[in-house]
C-alpha cells in the first residue's frame, strides 16, 4: 500500500516555499535519512498527522543563501538539520541549552512554523531553517554518513552523556538492533564499554558481534540466558519502537541501573513496582539531543572513526524503503540521495 505522503513526488521536490529571513539559512538538500518516526507520522500512529506531509528529519545539505543576520554559516557550507527547527528560547529547557525539551518546540515537519506555514522536512529539494537549528558537518565525515547521526547518533549519545554513562569499563545493553541500536553499539564501544546486544532471537548474533563489535549477545526469549545475565548491566538502551514488556530488561540491571526508553510507542508500557524498588533502578527516557550535543556527536564520530551503516537509495525507491523499514529489512539505515534523484521523472 502506498504511503499517502509520497504522492506526488514532484510536490515533494518543490516543498520549500518559505522566504529566507534575517537569521535563516536556505539549504539545498543533498541527503536525508529515513527513521521509524517517519513511518509513525506518515501512518498517523500517534493521531496527530496532517496531510499533505513531507517527512525527513536527518537532513544534510549545502548552504545556498543566508539571511543578513546569519553569522555562523555561508554559502557552500555543508550542514545538517535534525528533528526540531524552533523553540521558545524563554523556558527553562531553552535557557539550559536542551531546547529539545521545550514545550513549544517546532518539529521539522508536520508542525506549524512561526510564520503560520506548515513545516516540511528533508524529502524535498530545499529547506529554510533558523541558524540555531543548523549544525556544520565536520571535515572527514561524508554527508551521507552524517545524516543518521543527526537523529540516531545523537539519540544514543545524549543519554549516555546526561546520565554520566561515558566512563570506560561500564557494562551496557542495547535492546533492538535497528538504526538507533546499531549506533548505540558503536558509540558505547567507542566509550570503552562492554556492550551486550539484546534481541528476541539469535538471527542478528553474527552481525552484532562480527560486524558491529558487540561483546555479548543475549536472546531475550531464552529464560536461561536471561537468568544468567541478571544484575549484570549498568544500563540498557531500549530502542524498540513497539509495545513490549519491561520486566525482563529491568532484571538485567545492577543496583542503580538505568533503563532508558527511546522507542516512540503509542501504547502504555507496564511493569511491577518491585522490579524497580528492589534495586533502586530507574526507568527513564531521552529524546534526541540538544544542538550542542548534535555538534558533539558529529565531532566524536570523526575522532573515533565511526560511521553509520547505511543503504543509499533514490527518491523513487522511497515507498519501498519505508515498507522494508517496517519489516526491519535494512542494515541499518536508509539514506535518500535527494540531490541525485530525478524527482521530476519519478513523478
pLDDT digits (tens, 9 = 90+) for 106-158: 999 999 988 888 999 999 999 999 999 999 999 999 999 999 999 999 999 99
Question: 246 and 182, same structural domain?
Answer: yes
Question: 115 and 60, same structural domain?
Answer: yes
- Is it the case that residue 347 has pLDDT exceeding 90? no
Rounded Cα distance between 121 and 230, Å, is 43
Rounded Cα distance between 286 and 84, Å, is 15
Q: For residue 115, which phi and psi values (nearest 5 degrees)?
A: -90, 5
* pLDDT computed for residue 264 by the predictor: 87
Q: Of 62-66, 272-276, 327-331, 332-336, which gets the smallest average pLDDT?
A: 327-331
Quick: pLDDT tens for 178-221.
Answer: 999 999 999 999 999 999 999 999 999 999 999 999 999 999 99
pLDDT class of 246 with cuts at 50, 70, 90: very high
Quick: pLDDT tens for 23-50.
Answer: 999 999 999 999 989 998 999 988 899 9
Question: 142 and 160, same structural domain?
Answer: no
Nearest to 119 by CA among 24, 192, 39: 24
* pLDDT computed for residue 344 by the predictor: 59
Residue indicated by cell numbers 538504526: 179
Nearest to 186 by CA among 305, 42, 328: 305
Structural domain count of the chain: 2
Contact 107, 83 (CB under 8 A): yes
* pLDDT computed for residue 10 by the predictor: 45
Question: 205 and 127, same structural domain?
Answer: no
pTM of the full structure: 0.91
Question: 145 and 67, same structural domain?
Answer: yes
Question: 261 and 170, same structural domain?
Answer: yes
Question: 268 and 188, same structural domain?
Answer: yes
Rounded Cα distance between 213 and 191, Å, is 13
Range of the domain at 82: 24-151+307-337
Does residue 346 lie within any of the structural domains?
Answer: no
Question: 270 and 183, same structural domain?
Answer: yes
* pLDDT computed for residue 19 by the predictor: 81
Does residue 15 lie within any of the structural domains?
Answer: no
Question: Higher pLDDT residue, 308 or 346?
Answer: 308
Question: 32 and 71, same structural domain?
Answer: yes
3-class secondary-structure state, position 230:
coil
Nearest to 144 by CA among 32, 305, 288, 291: 32
Question: 248 and 158, same structural domain?
Answer: yes
Rounded Cα distance between 313 and 182, Å, is 19
Question: 206 and 83, same structural domain?
Answer: no
Rounded Cα distance between 57 and 107, Å, is 9
Amino acid at each position: 500500500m502506498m504511503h499517502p505522503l509520497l504522492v506526488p513526488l514532484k510536490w515533494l521536490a518543490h516543498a520549500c516555499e518559505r522566504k529566507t529571513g534575517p537569521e535563516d539559512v536556505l539549504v539545498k538538500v543533498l541527503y536525508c535519512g529515513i527513521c521509524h518516526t517517519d513511518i509513525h507520522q506518515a501512518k498517523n500512529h500517534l493521531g496527530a498527522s496532517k496531510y499533505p506531509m513531507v517527512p525527513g528529519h536527518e537532513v544534510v545539505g549545502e548552504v545556498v543563501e543566508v539571511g543578513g543576520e546569519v553569522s555562523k554559516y555561508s554559502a557552500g557550507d555543508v550542514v545538517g538539520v535534525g528533528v526540531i527547527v524552533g523553540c521558545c528560547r524563554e523556558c527553562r529547557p531553552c535557557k539550559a541549552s536542551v531546547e529539545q525539551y521545550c514545550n513549544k518546540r517546532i518539529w521539522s515537519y508536520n508542525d506549524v512554523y512561526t510564520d503560520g506555514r506548515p513545516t516540511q522536512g528533508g524529502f524535498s529539494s530545499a529547506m529554510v531553517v533558523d541558524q540555531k537549528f543548523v549544525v556544520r558537518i565536520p571535515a572527514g565525515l561524508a554527508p551521507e554518513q552524517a545524516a543518521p547521526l543527526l537523529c540516531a547518533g545523537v539519540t544514543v549519545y545524549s543519554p549516555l552523556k546526561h546520565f554520566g554513562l561515558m566512563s570506560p569499563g561500564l557494562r551496557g545493553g542495547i535492546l533492538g538492533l535497528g538504526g538507533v541500536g546499531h549506533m548505540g553499539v558503536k558509540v558505547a564501544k567507542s566509550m570503552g564499554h562492554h556492550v551486550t546486544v539484546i534481541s528476541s532471537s539469535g538471527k542478528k548474533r553474527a552481525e552484532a558481534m562480527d560486524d558491529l563489535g558487540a561483546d555479548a549477545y543475549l536472546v531475550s526469549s531464552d529464560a536461561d540466558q536471561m537468568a544468567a545475565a541478571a544484575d549484570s548491566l549498568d544500563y540498557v538502551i531500549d530502542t524498540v519502537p513497539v509495545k513490549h514488556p519491561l520486566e525482563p530488561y529491568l532484571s538485567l540491571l545492577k543496583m542503580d541501573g538505568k533503563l532508558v526508553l527511546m522507542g516512540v510507542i503509542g501504547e502504555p508500557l507496564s511493569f511491577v513496582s518491585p522490579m524497580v524498588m528492589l534495586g533502586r533502578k530507574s526507568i527513564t527516557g531521552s529524546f534526541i539531543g540538544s544542538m550542542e550535543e548534535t555538534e558533539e556527536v558529529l565531532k566524536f564520530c570523526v575522532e573515533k572513526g565511526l560511521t553509520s551503516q547505511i543503504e543509499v537509495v533514490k527518491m523513487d525507491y522511497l515507498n519501498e524503503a519505508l515498507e522494508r523499514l517496517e519489516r526491519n529489512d535494512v542494515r541499518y539505515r536508509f539514506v535518500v540521495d535527494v540531490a541525485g534523484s530525478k524527482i521530476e521523472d519519478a513523478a
